Structure 1
Amino acid sequence: MELRIEHLSKTYANGTQALRDVTLTIPTGMFGLLGPNGAGKSSLMRTIATLQEADSGSITLGELDVLHDKDAVRRVLGYLPQEFGVYPKISAEELLDHFAVLKGISDSKQRREIVSGLLHRTNLYEVRKKNLGGYSGGMKQRFGIAQALLGNPRLIIVDEPTAGLDPAERNRFHNLLAEIGENIIVILSTHIVGDVSDLCRNMAIINKGQVLLTGDPLVVMQELRGQVWRREIDKEQLPALQQEQQVISTRLFAGRTIVHVVSGSQPGPEYDGVEPTLEDVYFARIKQAEMVTAGVGE
Protein backbone atom coordinates (compact mmCIF):
# COMPACT_ATOMS: atom_id res chain seq x y z
CA MET A 1 0.00 0.00 0.00
CA GLU A 2 1.33 3.42 -0.99
CA LEU A 3 0.04 6.96 -0.87
CA ARG A 4 1.15 8.76 -4.03
CA ILE A 5 0.99 12.55 -4.29
CA GLU A 6 1.86 14.02 -7.68
CA HIS A 7 2.26 17.68 -8.68
CA LEU A 8 -0.15 18.92 -6.01
CA SER A 9 -0.70 22.68 -5.79
CA LYS A 10 -3.01 24.87 -3.72
CA THR A 11 -3.44 28.66 -3.59
CA TYR A 12 -5.93 30.22 -1.18
CA ALA A 13 -8.30 33.06 -2.04
CA ASN A 14 -6.03 35.61 -0.31
CA GLY A 15 -3.21 34.75 -2.72
CA THR A 16 -1.19 32.55 -0.35
CA GLN A 17 0.35 29.65 -2.28
CA ALA A 18 0.28 26.91 0.33
CA LEU A 19 1.45 24.01 -1.86
CA ARG A 20 3.76 24.22 -4.88
CA ASP A 21 3.97 21.17 -7.14
CA VAL A 22 4.29 18.69 -4.24
CA THR A 23 5.24 15.15 -5.25
CA LEU A 24 5.72 12.41 -2.62
CA THR A 25 5.49 8.62 -2.37
CA ILE A 26 4.61 7.44 1.13
CA PRO A 27 4.90 3.71 1.93
CA THR A 28 3.47 1.67 4.80
CA GLY A 29 4.98 2.71 8.13
CA MET A 30 5.72 5.98 9.88
CA PHE A 31 6.39 8.90 7.54
CA GLY A 32 7.57 12.22 8.93
CA LEU A 33 6.56 15.48 7.29
CA LEU A 34 8.88 18.05 8.80
CA GLY A 35 8.71 21.81 8.40
CA PRO A 36 8.37 25.10 10.28
CA ASN A 37 5.02 26.63 11.16
CA GLY A 38 3.40 27.94 7.98
CA ALA A 39 5.38 25.59 5.72
CA GLY A 40 2.27 24.03 4.15
CA LYS A 41 2.13 20.87 6.27
CA SER A 42 -1.43 21.40 7.50
CA SER A 43 -2.60 22.37 4.01
CA LEU A 44 -1.21 19.11 2.65
CA MET A 45 -2.73 17.08 5.49
CA ARG A 46 -6.14 18.71 5.03
CA THR A 47 -6.04 17.99 1.31
CA ILE A 48 -5.14 14.33 1.86
CA ALA A 49 -7.91 14.11 4.48
CA THR A 50 -10.47 15.35 1.88
CA LEU A 51 -11.17 18.51 3.90
CA GLN A 52 -10.20 20.92 1.11
CA GLU A 53 -9.78 20.88 -2.65
CA ALA A 54 -6.50 21.07 -4.54
CA ASP A 55 -6.05 23.37 -7.52
CA SER A 56 -4.12 20.78 -9.50
CA GLY A 57 -2.36 17.44 -9.12
CA SER A 58 -3.44 14.01 -7.92
CA ILE A 59 -3.44 11.82 -4.79
CA THR A 60 -3.97 8.06 -4.82
CA LEU A 61 -4.14 5.62 -1.89
CA GLY A 62 -3.64 2.22 -3.46
CA GLU A 63 -6.38 2.15 -6.08
CA LEU A 64 -8.40 4.97 -4.49
CA ASP A 65 -8.49 8.41 -6.11
CA VAL A 66 -8.34 10.60 -2.99
CA LEU A 67 -9.42 13.84 -4.68
CA HIS A 68 -12.45 12.37 -6.45
CA ASP A 69 -13.63 9.45 -4.31
CA LYS A 70 -13.83 11.24 -0.97
CA ASP A 71 -16.44 9.01 0.70
CA ALA A 72 -14.39 5.87 0.04
CA VAL A 73 -11.26 7.58 1.39
CA ARG A 74 -13.01 8.70 4.57
CA ARG A 75 -14.01 5.09 5.29
CA VAL A 76 -10.33 4.06 5.47
CA LEU A 77 -8.91 7.25 7.00
CA GLY A 78 -8.09 8.13 10.61
CA TYR A 79 -7.32 11.78 11.30
CA LEU A 80 -6.03 13.59 14.39
CA PRO A 81 -5.91 17.31 13.52
CA GLN A 82 -3.72 19.86 15.25
CA GLU A 83 -6.73 21.34 17.06
CA PHE A 84 -8.71 18.38 18.37
CA GLY A 85 -11.70 19.49 20.42
CA VAL A 86 -13.61 17.26 22.84
CA TYR A 87 -16.84 17.64 24.77
CA PRO A 88 -15.56 18.33 28.32
CA LYS A 89 -18.63 17.03 30.19
CA ILE A 90 -18.81 13.61 28.56
CA SER A 91 -16.70 10.56 29.35
CA ALA A 92 -14.12 9.08 26.99
CA GLU A 93 -16.14 5.86 26.76
CA GLU A 94 -19.35 7.67 25.81
CA LEU A 95 -17.74 9.94 23.22
CA LEU A 96 -15.76 7.13 21.61
CA ASP A 97 -18.98 5.11 21.39
CA HIS A 98 -20.64 8.09 19.69
CA PHE A 99 -17.78 8.39 17.20
CA ALA A 100 -18.08 4.65 16.49
CA VAL A 101 -21.75 5.11 15.59
CA LEU A 102 -20.80 7.94 13.23
CA LYS A 103 -18.18 5.64 11.70
CA GLY A 104 -20.96 3.19 10.82
CA ILE A 105 -20.43 0.59 13.56
CA SER A 106 -24.11 -0.04 14.28
CA ASP A 107 -24.04 -3.32 16.23
CA SER A 108 -23.97 -2.34 19.92
CA LYS A 109 -22.13 -5.45 21.14
CA GLN A 110 -19.46 -5.09 18.46
CA ARG A 111 -19.19 -1.39 19.27
CA ARG A 112 -18.64 -2.05 23.00
CA GLU A 113 -15.87 -4.52 22.17
CA ILE A 114 -14.17 -2.10 19.78
CA VAL A 115 -14.41 0.86 22.17
CA SER A 116 -13.08 -1.23 25.07
CA GLY A 117 -10.20 -2.53 22.94
CA LEU A 118 -9.19 0.96 21.77
CA LEU A 119 -9.31 2.37 25.30
CA HIS A 120 -7.06 -0.48 26.46
CA ARG A 121 -4.71 0.07 23.51
CA THR A 122 -4.34 3.78 24.27
CA ASN A 123 -3.98 3.13 28.03
CA LEU A 124 -7.17 5.02 28.85
CA TYR A 125 -9.36 2.14 30.02
CA GLU A 126 -8.89 2.87 33.73
CA VAL A 127 -10.10 6.47 33.21
CA ARG A 128 -12.80 5.65 30.65
CA LYS A 129 -15.59 6.95 32.94
CA LYS A 130 -13.80 10.25 33.61
CA ASN A 131 -15.07 13.37 31.83
CA LEU A 132 -12.75 14.48 29.04
CA GLY A 133 -12.55 17.95 30.54
CA GLY A 134 -10.43 16.44 33.33
CA TYR A 135 -7.95 14.79 30.95
CA SER A 136 -4.39 16.05 30.60
CA GLY A 137 -3.10 17.17 27.20
CA GLY A 138 -1.42 13.84 26.60
CA MET A 139 -4.52 11.87 27.57
CA LYS A 140 -6.60 13.94 25.14
CA GLN A 141 -4.08 13.20 22.37
CA ARG A 142 -4.27 9.48 23.14
CA PHE A 143 -8.05 9.71 23.01
CA GLY A 144 -7.63 11.44 19.63
CA ILE A 145 -5.63 8.45 18.41
CA ALA A 146 -8.32 6.08 19.73
CA GLN A 147 -10.98 7.81 17.64
CA ALA A 148 -8.63 7.88 14.63
CA LEU A 149 -8.27 4.09 14.89
CA LEU A 150 -12.01 3.41 14.63
CA GLY A 151 -12.88 1.34 11.58
CA ASN A 152 -9.42 -0.19 11.06
CA PRO A 153 -8.05 2.63 8.87
CA ARG A 154 -5.41 2.05 6.19
CA LEU A 155 -4.10 5.62 6.56
CA ILE A 156 -3.75 7.74 9.70
CA ILE A 157 -2.77 11.41 9.70
CA VAL A 158 -1.56 13.09 12.89
CA ASP A 159 -0.88 16.83 12.75
CA GLU A 160 1.52 18.30 15.37
CA PRO A 161 0.56 15.61 17.91
CA THR A 162 3.23 16.17 20.59
CA ALA A 163 3.30 19.97 20.73
CA GLY A 164 2.84 20.98 24.38
CA LEU A 165 3.20 17.47 25.83
CA ASP A 166 5.52 16.86 28.76
CA PRO A 167 8.42 14.40 28.19
CA ALA A 168 6.65 11.43 29.79
CA GLU A 169 3.47 11.89 27.73
CA ARG A 170 5.57 12.47 24.61
CA ASN A 171 7.30 9.12 25.15
CA ARG A 172 3.97 7.35 25.70
CA PHE A 173 2.60 8.90 22.55
CA HIS A 174 5.72 7.92 20.57
CA ASN A 175 5.39 4.30 21.68
CA LEU A 176 1.74 4.25 20.66
CA LEU A 177 2.46 5.73 17.22
CA ALA A 178 5.34 3.32 16.63
CA GLU A 179 3.03 0.36 17.36
CA ILE A 180 0.31 1.69 15.06
CA GLY A 181 2.77 2.39 12.24
CA GLU A 182 3.91 -1.22 11.90
CA ASN A 183 1.13 -2.22 9.50
CA ILE A 184 -0.49 0.90 8.04
CA ILE A 185 0.54 4.28 6.67
CA VAL A 186 0.94 6.89 9.42
CA ILE A 187 1.83 10.44 8.42
CA LEU A 188 3.34 12.44 11.26
CA SER A 189 3.23 16.16 10.44
CA THR A 190 5.38 18.19 12.84
CA HIS A 191 7.92 20.98 13.32
CA ILE A 192 9.61 18.96 16.09
CA VAL A 193 12.72 17.35 14.57
CA GLY A 194 13.09 14.84 17.42
CA ASP A 195 9.67 13.30 16.69
CA VAL A 196 10.78 12.43 13.16
CA SER A 197 14.26 11.20 14.07
CA ASP A 198 12.82 9.01 16.87
CA LEU A 199 9.96 7.44 14.91
CA CYS A 200 10.29 7.60 11.13
CA ARG A 201 12.17 5.54 8.55
CA ASN A 202 11.02 7.85 5.76
CA MET A 203 10.56 11.60 5.78
CA ALA A 204 10.25 14.80 3.80
CA ILE A 205 11.19 18.38 4.62
CA ILE A 206 8.74 20.99 3.37
CA ASN A 207 8.98 24.79 3.50
CA LYS A 208 6.92 27.51 1.83
CA GLY A 209 4.83 24.82 0.17
CA GLN A 210 7.75 23.08 -1.53
CA VAL A 211 9.36 19.71 -0.81
CA LEU A 212 13.07 20.33 -0.16
CA LEU A 213 14.22 16.78 0.65
CA THR A 214 12.94 13.22 0.97
CA GLY A 215 14.59 10.07 2.27
CA ASP A 216 15.59 7.94 5.25
CA PRO A 217 16.68 10.20 8.16
CA LEU A 218 19.80 8.08 8.77
CA VAL A 219 20.81 8.32 5.11
CA VAL A 220 20.27 12.06 4.76
CA MET A 221 22.29 12.65 7.93
CA GLN A 222 25.18 10.63 6.51
CA GLU A 223 25.08 12.70 3.32
CA LEU A 224 26.01 15.74 5.41
CA ARG A 225 28.84 13.96 7.21
CA GLY A 226 32.11 15.92 7.24
CA GLN A 227 30.35 19.21 6.43
CA VAL A 228 29.02 20.35 9.84
CA TRP A 229 31.32 22.40 12.09
CA ARG A 230 30.82 23.71 15.62
CA ARG A 231 32.24 26.80 17.28
CA GLU A 232 31.69 28.75 20.52
CA ILE A 233 31.49 32.52 20.18
CA ASP A 234 30.33 35.58 22.07
CA LYS A 235 26.92 36.65 20.84
CA GLU A 236 28.39 39.96 19.60
CA GLN A 237 30.40 37.98 17.04
CA LEU A 238 27.35 36.37 15.47
CA PRO A 239 26.39 39.05 12.88
CA ALA A 240 29.91 39.11 11.41
CA LEU A 241 30.10 35.31 11.40
CA GLN A 242 26.79 35.07 9.55
CA GLN A 243 28.30 37.22 6.80
CA GLU A 244 31.37 34.96 6.54
CA GLN A 245 29.91 31.45 6.93
CA GLN A 246 26.76 29.48 6.21
CA VAL A 247 25.43 29.45 9.77
CA ILE A 248 22.60 26.94 10.04
CA SER A 249 21.80 27.08 13.77
CA THR A 250 22.67 28.84 17.01
CA ARG A 251 21.96 28.06 20.65
CA LEU A 252 23.09 29.24 24.06
CA PHE A 253 25.15 27.07 26.41
CA ALA A 254 26.57 28.34 29.73
CA GLY A 255 26.34 31.94 28.56
CA ARG A 256 28.16 31.27 25.29
CA THR A 257 26.68 31.00 21.80
CA ILE A 258 27.19 27.67 20.01
CA VAL A 259 26.99 27.90 16.23
CA HIS A 260 26.82 25.16 13.63
CA VAL A 261 27.98 26.00 10.12
CA VAL A 262 28.02 23.99 6.90
CA SER A 263 31.25 23.95 4.93
CA GLY A 264 33.02 21.50 2.63
CA SER A 265 36.23 21.98 4.63
CA GLN A 266 37.19 23.20 8.09
CA PRO A 267 36.43 26.94 8.12
CA GLY A 268 39.22 27.68 10.60
CA PRO A 269 41.12 26.32 13.60
CA GLU A 270 38.37 27.52 15.97
CA TYR A 271 35.93 24.99 14.46
CA ASP A 272 35.44 21.36 15.47
CA GLY A 273 33.82 18.82 13.18
CA VAL A 274 30.63 17.23 14.55
CA GLU A 275 28.45 14.32 13.50
CA PRO A 276 25.41 15.74 11.71
CA THR A 277 22.01 15.38 13.29
CA LEU A 278 18.61 15.51 11.60
CA GLU A 279 18.30 19.03 13.02
CA ASP A 280 21.45 20.01 11.11
CA VAL A 281 20.00 18.54 7.91
CA TYR A 282 16.72 20.36 8.50
CA PHE A 283 18.29 23.77 9.09
CA ALA A 284 20.81 23.32 6.28
CA ARG A 285 18.13 22.54 3.69
CA ILE A 286 15.91 25.43 4.75
CA LYS A 287 18.92 27.79 4.74
CA GLN A 288 19.95 26.57 1.29
CA ALA A 289 16.43 27.13 -0.07
CA GLU A 290 16.35 30.65 1.39
CA MET A 291 19.70 31.45 -0.27
CA VAL A 292 18.42 30.23 -3.63
CA THR A 293 15.25 32.33 -3.25
CA ALA A 294 17.38 35.37 -2.44
CA GLY A 295 19.60 34.71 -5.45
CA VAL A 296 22.68 33.91 -3.35
CA GLY A 297 25.03 31.12 -4.39
CA GLU A 298 23.13 30.04 -7.49
Structure 2
Amino acid sequence: MNQPLTLQIEHLNQFYGARQVLFDIDLHIQQGMFGLLGRNGAGKTTLMKTLVTLLPVRKGEVRIDGVLIKQVNKIREMVGYLPQEFTMYGSMTVKGAMEYLALLSELPHATIKRRVPELLDKVNLVEHQHKKVKALSGGMKRRLGIAQALLHDPKLLIVDEPTAGLDPEERVRFRNLLSELAEERIVILSTHIVGDIEATCEHIAIMHEGRLLFTGTVQQLLQAAAGKVYTVTVSRDQVQLWKQGYTVTGMMMQGNSCELRLLSDAPINEAASIVEPNIEDAYMWQLGLHQGG
Protein backbone atom coordinates (compact mmCIF):
# COMPACT_ATOMS: atom_id res chain seq x y z
CA MET A 1 0.00 0.00 0.00
CA ASN A 2 1.42 3.41 -1.01
CA GLN A 3 2.18 5.87 1.75
CA PRO A 4 0.22 9.16 1.51
CA LEU A 5 2.09 12.14 0.11
CA THR A 6 3.43 14.55 2.71
CA LEU A 7 5.00 18.01 2.82
CA GLN A 8 6.94 18.75 5.99
CA ILE A 9 8.11 22.26 6.84
CA GLU A 10 10.11 22.58 10.04
CA HIS A 11 11.34 25.83 11.63
CA LEU A 12 11.52 27.61 8.29
CA ASN A 13 12.90 31.15 8.46
CA GLN A 14 13.41 33.26 5.36
CA PHE A 15 15.15 36.54 4.72
CA TYR A 16 15.41 39.19 2.02
CA GLY A 17 18.95 40.33 2.64
CA ALA A 18 19.14 41.01 6.38
CA ARG A 19 15.36 41.49 6.75
CA GLN A 20 13.50 38.46 8.07
CA VAL A 21 10.21 37.79 6.27
CA LEU A 22 9.21 34.29 7.46
CA PHE A 23 9.39 33.35 11.14
CA ASP A 24 9.67 29.74 12.32
CA ILE A 25 7.08 28.21 9.97
CA ASP A 26 6.04 24.67 10.96
CA LEU A 27 3.53 22.83 8.75
CA HIS A 28 2.70 19.19 8.04
CA ILE A 29 0.53 18.86 4.93
CA GLN A 30 -0.90 15.63 3.54
CA GLN A 31 -2.46 14.64 0.23
CA GLY A 32 -5.53 16.69 -0.70
CA MET A 33 -6.38 20.38 -0.75
CA PHE A 34 -4.72 22.71 1.74
CA GLY A 35 -5.63 26.37 2.08
CA LEU A 36 -3.11 29.09 2.91
CA LEU A 37 -5.03 32.20 3.89
CA GLY A 38 -3.70 35.67 4.55
CA ARG A 39 -3.74 39.27 3.45
CA ASN A 40 -1.53 40.47 0.62
CA GLY A 41 1.95 40.82 2.09
CA ALA A 42 1.39 38.14 4.75
CA GLY A 43 4.31 36.04 3.47
CA LYS A 44 2.33 33.52 1.42
CA THR A 45 4.15 34.14 -1.86
CA THR A 46 7.56 33.98 -0.15
CA LEU A 47 6.61 30.59 1.27
CA MET A 48 5.39 29.41 -2.15
CA LYS A 49 8.59 30.51 -3.85
CA THR A 50 10.60 28.67 -1.23
CA LEU A 51 8.65 25.45 -1.78
CA VAL A 52 9.22 25.56 -5.55
CA THR A 53 12.97 26.31 -5.03
CA LEU A 54 12.86 29.84 -6.49
CA LEU A 55 14.22 30.99 -3.12
CA PRO A 56 16.86 28.89 -1.34
CA VAL A 57 16.12 27.89 2.25
CA ARG A 58 18.12 30.11 4.59
CA LYS A 59 17.20 28.37 7.84
CA GLY A 60 15.05 25.33 8.57
CA GLU A 61 14.12 22.18 6.71
CA VAL A 62 11.59 21.28 4.03
CA ARG A 63 10.84 17.78 2.72
CA ILE A 64 8.44 16.87 -0.08
CA ASP A 65 7.51 13.19 0.05
CA GLY A 66 10.69 12.62 2.04
CA VAL A 67 12.99 14.47 -0.39
CA LEU A 68 14.99 17.38 1.05
CA ILE A 69 14.32 20.65 -0.74
CA LYS A 70 18.06 21.15 -1.19
CA GLN A 71 17.87 18.41 -3.84
CA VAL A 72 16.66 21.05 -6.29
CA ASN A 73 16.47 18.95 -9.46
CA LYS A 74 14.45 16.21 -7.76
CA ILE A 75 12.14 18.73 -6.12
CA ARG A 76 11.44 20.52 -9.40
CA GLU A 77 10.36 17.20 -10.91
CA MET A 78 7.87 16.84 -8.06
CA VAL A 79 6.38 20.35 -7.98
CA GLY A 80 4.03 22.27 -10.27
CA TYR A 81 3.51 26.00 -9.80
CA LEU A 82 0.99 28.58 -10.99
CA PRO A 83 2.26 31.98 -9.81
CA GLN A 84 0.02 34.95 -9.18
CA GLU A 85 1.39 36.78 -12.22
CA PHE A 86 1.19 34.11 -14.91
CA THR A 87 2.23 34.89 -18.47
CA MET A 88 2.63 32.68 -21.51
CA TYR A 89 3.58 33.12 -25.16
CA GLY A 90 0.72 35.28 -26.43
CA SER A 91 1.31 34.76 -30.15
CA MET A 92 1.35 30.97 -29.83
CA THR A 93 -1.73 28.81 -29.92
CA VAL A 94 -2.84 27.08 -26.73
CA LYS A 95 -1.71 23.70 -28.02
CA GLY A 96 1.54 25.11 -29.44
CA ALA A 97 2.44 26.79 -26.15
CA MET A 98 1.82 23.58 -24.22
CA GLU A 99 3.95 21.54 -26.63
CA TYR A 100 6.75 24.10 -26.49
CA LEU A 101 6.76 24.12 -22.67
CA ALA A 102 6.75 20.33 -22.67
CA LEU A 103 9.84 20.35 -24.91
CA LEU A 104 11.55 22.80 -22.57
CA SER A 105 10.74 20.39 -19.74
CA GLU A 106 12.53 17.67 -21.75
CA LEU A 107 9.51 15.39 -21.86
CA PRO A 108 9.79 12.57 -24.45
CA HIS A 109 7.92 13.19 -27.72
CA ALA A 110 5.63 10.21 -27.10
CA THR A 111 4.73 11.63 -23.68
CA ILE A 112 4.08 15.09 -25.15
CA LYS A 113 1.79 13.65 -27.83
CA ARG A 114 -0.28 11.91 -25.16
CA ARG A 115 -0.02 14.35 -22.27
CA VAL A 116 -0.90 17.66 -23.95
CA PRO A 117 -4.36 16.55 -25.25
CA GLU A 118 -5.09 14.88 -21.90
CA LEU A 119 -4.33 18.05 -19.97
CA LEU A 120 -6.24 20.35 -22.32
CA ASP A 121 -9.23 18.06 -21.89
CA LYS A 122 -8.79 18.06 -18.08
CA VAL A 123 -8.88 21.88 -17.95
CA ASN A 124 -11.68 22.11 -20.55
CA LEU A 125 -9.63 23.88 -23.24
CA VAL A 126 -9.78 21.35 -26.10
CA GLU A 127 -12.19 23.49 -28.13
CA HIS A 128 -9.86 26.49 -27.67
CA GLN A 129 -6.59 24.70 -28.45
CA HIS A 130 -6.09 26.51 -31.76
CA LYS A 131 -6.75 29.97 -30.30
CA LYS A 132 -3.83 32.26 -29.60
CA VAL A 133 -3.04 32.59 -25.92
CA LYS A 134 -3.53 36.38 -26.02
CA ALA A 135 -7.15 35.85 -27.15
CA LEU A 136 -8.10 33.82 -24.07
CA SER A 137 -10.18 35.17 -21.20
CA GLY A 138 -8.62 35.54 -17.76
CA GLY A 139 -10.19 32.33 -16.54
CA MET A 140 -9.00 30.38 -19.59
CA LYS A 141 -5.47 31.67 -19.08
CA ARG A 142 -5.53 30.47 -15.46
CA ARG A 143 -6.73 27.03 -16.59
CA LEU A 144 -3.94 26.97 -19.17
CA GLY A 145 -1.57 27.86 -16.35
CA ILE A 146 -2.77 24.82 -14.41
CA ALA A 147 -2.30 22.63 -17.49
CA GLN A 148 1.33 23.71 -17.91
CA ALA A 149 1.96 23.16 -14.19
CA LEU A 150 0.72 19.58 -14.58
CA LEU A 151 2.87 18.66 -17.59
CA HIS A 152 5.24 16.51 -15.55
CA ASP A 153 2.45 15.12 -13.32
CA PRO A 154 3.71 16.73 -10.07
CA LYS A 155 3.09 15.34 -6.60
CA LEU A 156 2.71 18.88 -5.22
CA LEU A 157 0.75 21.59 -7.04
CA ILE A 158 0.97 25.15 -5.72
CA VAL A 159 -1.37 27.90 -6.94
CA ASP A 160 -0.92 31.49 -5.80
CA GLU A 161 -4.05 33.72 -5.79
CA PRO A 162 -5.56 31.79 -8.74
CA THR A 163 -9.08 33.27 -8.70
CA ALA A 164 -8.26 36.96 -8.20
CA GLY A 165 -10.04 38.95 -10.88
CA LEU A 166 -12.18 36.07 -12.17
CA ASP A 167 -15.94 36.37 -12.53
CA PRO A 168 -18.07 34.22 -10.17
CA GLU A 169 -18.78 31.48 -12.74
CA GLU A 170 -15.13 31.12 -13.70
CA ARG A 171 -14.11 31.14 -10.03
CA VAL A 172 -16.44 28.22 -9.27
CA ARG A 173 -15.17 26.31 -12.32
CA PHE A 174 -11.56 26.86 -11.25
CA ARG A 175 -12.19 25.79 -7.65
CA ASN A 176 -13.89 22.60 -8.85
CA LEU A 177 -10.89 21.83 -11.05
CA LEU A 178 -8.48 22.24 -8.11
CA SER A 179 -10.62 19.95 -5.97
CA GLU A 180 -10.48 17.24 -8.64
CA LEU A 181 -6.70 17.59 -8.95
CA ALA A 182 -6.30 17.26 -5.17
CA GLU A 183 -7.62 13.69 -5.28
CA GLU A 184 -4.22 12.53 -6.59
CA ARG A 185 -1.73 14.98 -5.08
CA ILE A 186 -1.17 17.76 -2.58
CA VAL A 187 -2.67 21.04 -3.79
CA ILE A 188 -1.82 24.21 -1.88
CA LEU A 189 -4.22 27.07 -2.56
CA SER A 190 -2.71 30.36 -1.46
CA THR A 191 -5.25 33.18 -1.35
CA HIS A 192 -6.64 36.19 0.50
CA ILE A 193 -10.17 35.29 -0.68
CA VAL A 194 -11.95 33.59 2.20
CA GLY A 195 -14.66 32.16 -0.06
CA ASP A 196 -12.13 30.10 -2.01
CA ILE A 197 -10.95 28.43 1.19
CA GLU A 198 -14.49 27.85 2.44
CA ALA A 199 -15.52 26.15 -0.81
CA THR A 200 -12.54 23.83 -1.25
CA CYS A 201 -10.38 23.21 1.83
CA GLU A 202 -10.75 21.16 4.99
CA HIS A 203 -7.27 21.94 6.36
CA ILE A 204 -5.92 25.48 6.43
CA ALA A 205 -3.25 27.77 7.80
CA ILE A 206 -3.51 31.52 8.38
CA MET A 207 -0.46 33.71 7.85
CA HIS A 208 0.10 37.27 9.01
CA GLU A 209 3.30 39.31 8.73
CA GLY A 210 5.39 36.20 8.03
CA ARG A 211 4.05 34.15 10.94
CA LEU A 212 1.50 31.36 11.28
CA LEU A 213 -1.49 32.47 13.36
CA PHE A 214 -3.47 29.26 13.01
CA THR A 215 -3.17 25.74 11.58
CA GLY A 216 -5.88 23.12 11.69
CA THR A 217 -9.23 22.24 10.17
CA VAL A 218 -11.90 24.68 9.09
CA GLN A 219 -14.10 23.27 11.85
CA GLN A 220 -11.44 24.02 14.46
CA LEU A 221 -11.14 27.56 13.12
CA LEU A 222 -14.89 28.05 13.43
CA GLN A 223 -14.92 26.58 16.94
CA ALA A 224 -12.27 29.08 18.05
CA ALA A 225 -14.64 31.94 17.17
CA ALA A 226 -17.78 30.36 18.63
CA GLY A 227 -19.55 32.71 21.03
CA LYS A 228 -17.62 35.72 19.72
CA VAL A 229 -19.90 36.77 16.84
CA TYR A 230 -22.94 38.99 17.36
CA THR A 231 -25.57 40.74 15.31
CA VAL A 232 -27.15 43.99 16.41
CA THR A 233 -29.43 46.48 14.69
CA VAL A 234 -28.56 50.15 15.11
CA SER A 235 -29.53 53.44 13.50
CA ARG A 236 -27.50 54.57 10.50
CA ASP A 237 -25.99 57.51 12.37
CA GLN A 238 -24.58 55.12 15.02
CA VAL A 239 -22.73 52.85 12.57
CA GLN A 240 -19.40 54.70 12.69
CA LEU A 241 -19.46 54.70 16.50
CA TRP A 242 -19.92 50.91 16.56
CA LYS A 243 -17.17 50.44 13.97
CA GLN A 244 -14.79 52.34 16.25
CA GLY A 245 -15.53 50.03 19.16
CA TYR A 246 -15.75 46.63 17.46
CA THR A 247 -14.46 44.67 14.46
CA VAL A 248 -17.41 44.68 12.04
CA THR A 249 -17.45 41.73 9.62
CA GLY A 250 -20.75 42.52 7.90
CA MET A 251 -23.28 45.31 7.38
CA MET A 252 -26.80 45.22 5.94
CA MET A 253 -28.68 48.49 5.49
CA GLN A 254 -32.44 48.33 6.18
CA GLY A 255 -34.03 51.72 5.62
CA ASN A 256 -32.82 54.04 8.37
CA SER A 257 -31.30 51.20 10.38
CA CYS A 258 -28.35 48.87 9.84
CA GLU A 259 -27.77 45.29 10.96
CA LEU A 260 -24.15 44.86 12.01
CA ARG A 261 -22.27 41.59 12.33
CA LEU A 262 -19.40 42.08 14.75
CA LEU A 263 -16.84 40.39 16.96
CA SER A 264 -16.64 40.68 20.72
CA ASP A 265 -14.98 38.69 23.49
CA ALA A 266 -17.64 39.78 26.00
CA PRO A 267 -21.43 40.18 25.89
CA ILE A 268 -22.46 43.47 24.28
CA ASN A 269 -25.99 44.35 25.38
CA GLU A 270 -29.45 42.84 25.45
CA ALA A 271 -30.15 43.93 21.88
CA ALA A 272 -27.20 41.94 20.48
CA SER A 273 -27.63 38.27 19.58
CA ILE A 274 -24.90 35.61 19.38
CA VAL A 275 -24.76 33.90 15.96
CA GLU A 276 -22.74 31.05 14.49
CA PRO A 277 -19.42 32.22 13.01
CA ASN A 278 -18.61 31.84 9.34
CA ILE A 279 -15.04 31.48 8.06
CA GLU A 280 -14.65 35.20 7.46
CA ASP A 281 -15.68 35.90 11.06
CA ALA A 282 -13.26 33.26 12.33
CA TYR A 283 -10.43 34.58 10.15
CA MET A 284 -10.96 38.14 11.40
CA TRP A 285 -11.09 36.85 14.97
CA GLN A 286 -7.66 35.26 14.55
CA LEU A 287 -6.23 38.48 13.12
CA GLY A 288 -7.72 40.42 16.00
CA LEU A 289 -6.15 38.10 18.57
CA HIS A 290 -2.75 38.72 17.03
CA GLN A 291 -3.14 42.47 16.72
CA GLY A 292 -4.63 42.72 20.18
CA GLY A 293 -1.66 40.86 21.65
The two structures have a TM-score, normalised by structure 1, of: 0.91
| Structure 1 equivalent of residue 63 of structure 2 | 60
| Structure 1 equivalent of residue 221 of structure 2 | 220
**SS at structure 2 position matched to 1:11:** strand
Aligned residues: 288
Q: RMSD of the alignment, in Å?
A: 1.8
| Cα pair 2:6 2:66 within 8 Å, conserved | no
**SS at structure 2 position matched to 1:74:** helix
Summarize deviations over 1:155-203 as a string: whole Å, max 9, x none: 0000000000001111110111010001210000000001011001100
Summarize deviations over 1:222-244 as a string: whole Å, max 9, x none: 33222211223356535543554
| Structure 2 equivalent of residue 88 of structure 1 | 90
Summarize deviations over 1:15-40 as a string: whole Å, max 9, x none: 54321111111111000000001000
| Structure 1 equivalent of residue 26 of structure 2 | 23
| Cα pair 1:37 1:191 within 8 Å, conserved | yes
Instruction: Provide the rounded CA distance (Å) in 2 between the counterparts of 1:286 and 1:277.
Output: 15
**SS at structure 2 position matched to 1:157:** strand
**SS at structure 2 position matched to 1:270:** coil
Shift, 1:249, TM fit: 2.4
| Cα pair 2:34 2:204 within 8 Å, conserved | yes
| Cα pair 1:5 1:23 within 8 Å, conserved | yes
The one-letter code sitting in structure 2 at the alignment partner of 1:104 is E
| Cα pair 1:203 1:217 within 8 Å, conserved | yes
| Structure 2 equivalent of residue 263 of structure 1 | 264
Paired-residue identity, %: 39
Summarize deviations over 1:30-77 as a string: whole Å, max 9, x none: 0000000100000000011100123211111122101x1111000111
Judged with a 3 Å threshold, the aligned counterparts in structure 2 of structure 1 residues 238 and 288 are, in CA distance, closer, same or farther, namely farther
Asked if 1:3 corresponds to 2:7, the answer is yes
| Structure 2 equivalent of residue 100 of structure 1 | 102
Provide structure 2 residue ranges, at least 5 long, that are not aligned to the other structure.
Answer: none
**How is 1:229-268 mapped onto 2 (pairs within 5 angstroms)?**
229-234=230-235, 236-238=237-239, 240-242=241-243, 244=245, 246-251=246-251, 253-254=253-254, 257-268=258-269
**How is 1:180-195 mapped onto 2 (pairs within 5 angstroms)?**
180-195=181-196
| Cα pair 2:249 2:263 within 8 Å, conserved | no
| Cα pair 1:247 1:259 within 8 Å, conserved | no
The two structures have a TM-score, normalised by structure 2, of: 0.92
Instruction: Provide the rounded CA distance (Å) in 2 between the counterparts of 1:185 and 1:100.
Output: 22
| Structure 2 equivalent of residue 162 of structure 1 | 163
**SS at structure 2 position matched to 1:23:** strand
| Structure 1 equivalent of residue 130 of structure 2 | 129
The one-letter code sitting in structure 1 at the alignment partner of 2:159 is V
Shift, 1:259, TM fit: 3.4
**How is 1:68-79 mapped onto 2 (pairs within 5 angstroms)?**
68-79=70-81
| Structure 2 equivalent of residue 44 of structure 1 | 47
Shift, 1:269, TM fit: 1.7
